Structure 1
Amino acid sequence: MSALHDLAATIAARKEADPDSSWTAKLLSKGPEKCAEKFGEEAVEAIIEAVKGDRDRLASEAADALYHLLVMCAARDVSLADIEAELARRQSQSGLAEKAAR
């Protein structure tokens, strides 16, 4: 398994955990809206580091953003497998064609 799959599995397991025992469980207990808010904050922080050009800080903030993206999706019962299936579906067409179809 990749680190991303391991992370997704941990997040899924934490959905049933006591919010006092896990940051992930605590975040999920606050609902999808709070999870989305936190993802937005982390995404903005990653954008800031991308603009600054600090590779190490960008890698750190990108990891935070990926974690919070998966938590947000888990809050709405969207799994990493669901996301991978959508990505696989999109591989059969060019990015330009996919954009035009929207």
Structure 2
Amino acid sequence: MTTLESLAATIETRKTADPESSWTAKLLAKGPEKCAEKFGEEAVEAIIEAVKGDNARLTSEAADVLYHLLVMLAARDVALADVFSELERREGTSGITEKAQRGT
């Protein structure tokens, strides 16, 4: 099991935890919209650090982005395995081709 998979499994267990005992449980209890908002905030912070060129801060913010992405996925009952499957489906396909197939 990878670190990401282990974190996703831990987040899954927090769905039923007491929100007073866990930051993740507290975030999940606020609903998917709040989880999405937190993900967006962390993504913006990562962008800022990328632009600044501070690799240590970018690394820290990137970890926050991954954590909040997993929380957002859990809030909507999207399994990390499903995301991995989608990435595997796209493997070997040009990004230009893949976007054209989606019509975006």
User: What TM-score comes out, normalization by structure 2 length?
Assistant: 0.95
SS of 2:59's partner is: helix
- Please list, as runs of the form range in 1=range in 2, the aligned pairs for 1:8-87 lying within 5 A after superposition: 8-87=8-87
Which residue in the other structure is 1:97 paired with? Answer: 97
Shift of 1:92: 4.2
- What RMSD in Å do the two structures reach over aligned CA positions? 0.8
- Return the alpha-carbon distance in structure 2 between the equivalents of residues 64 and 93 of structure 1: 29
Instruction: Give deviations 1:37-94, integer Å, cap 9, x for gaps.
Output: 0000000000000000011100000000000001001000001101101101111422
User: What TM-score comes out, normalization by structure 1 length?
Assistant: 0.97
- Return the alpha-carbon distance in structure 1 between the equivalents of residues 56 and 81 of structure 2: 28
SS of 2:33's partner is: helix
List gaps (5 residues or longer) in structure 1.
none
- Return the alpha-carbon distance in structure 2 between the equivalents of residues 50 and 93 of structure 1: 27
Shift of 1:2: 1.4
- Return the alpha-carbon distance in structure 2 between the equivalents of residues 44 and 92 of structure 1: 29
Partner amino acid, structure 1, of 2:7: L
List gaps (5 residues or longer) in structure 2.
none
Q: Moved runs in structure 1, 4+ residues, more than 4 A?
A: none
Range moving further from structure 2, 59-68 or 91-100: 91-100
Partner amino acid, structure 2, of 1:96: I
Equivalent residues, number: 102
